[in-house]
Amino acid sequence: MTPRTEHRPQMSVEEFEELERHAPETVRLEFIRGKVQVKPVTDGNHDQIVAWLQRLCMQHRPELWLYGDRGMKVERYRKGRARPDGVLAPFGFPVGHGDWSEAAGVLMAVEVTSHDSDTHQRDRVDKPDGYAATGIPVYLLIDRDDCTVTVFTHPEDGRYRQQVNKPFGATVQLPEPVNILLDTEPLKEFVEG
C-alpha cells in the first residue's frame, strides 16, 4: 500500500515564509491547506470594490480600519498563511505584528473574487474554512462571477455554520461584531474587469 500524501504539506510554514519573502513584488503567495497558492494580481474594478467597502466601514465604524492584503495566520494551529483582500479590525491592529498577524481582534475577513481558474476553491472553499478555524466572526465574499455577496458567520469547529447569500443590489446586514448595513447596488458597476 502506498502512503497517502495528499494531506502532507508541500513545505513547512517557515519554508513558505522564506519563499514568500523572496518572491517578486508582482507575485502574491499564500499557503492554504499545506499548498503554496499564487494569488492573482488585482485589477482596477477589484481594487475599487475594496476601496468602496473601506469607505463604508470608515463611515459607519470610524474606530476600525479595513486593512488590505494584511498577512494573516489562518487554519488550525495557524499553519496557513493568507492575504485577505481586507481584514476589518481596530485601528492600529497590525502594529508590531511583522509580516503575519494572528486573528485575535479581527472582526471580518473580506475576499473579492478574481477572474481565474482557482477562485472557486480558494475563495469559496479554502478561505472560509481557514478564517473560521481562526475564529474570525464574519467572512464577507464579494463574488463578481455570480454577482452575489455572501456573509459567513458563526465559526465553529473550523467551519462557518451560517451563510446568507444576496444578489448585488440587495441590502446586506453585516452582523455583530461588525454591525454595518451595506447597500450593494454600487457593486453592479464593478462586475467586469
Residues in the chain: 193
Backbone angles phi, psi at 125, to 5 degrees: -120, -65
Long-range contacts of 164-171 (CB under 8 A, 24+ apart): none
Please state, in angstroms and rounded to a whole number, the distance separating the CA atoms of residues 171 and 183: 5
For domain 42-190, the CATH superfamily is: tt1808, chain A (3.90.1570.10)
- Domain spans of the chain, in order of start: 42-190
Instruction: Please give the C-alpha separations between residue 62 and each of 21, 57, 80, 89, in angstroms, as whole numbers.
Output: 32, 7, 30, 11
User: pLDDT (tens digit, 0 to 9) for every residue of the chain, 193 residues total?
Assistant: 444 444 677 888 888 888 888 888 777 877 887 888 877 677 889 899 999 999 999 999 999 999 998 999 998 767 889 999 999 999 999 999 999 999 999 999 999 988 766 766 677 778 898 999 999 999 999 999 899 999 999 999 999 999 999 999 999 999 999 999 999 999 999 886 4
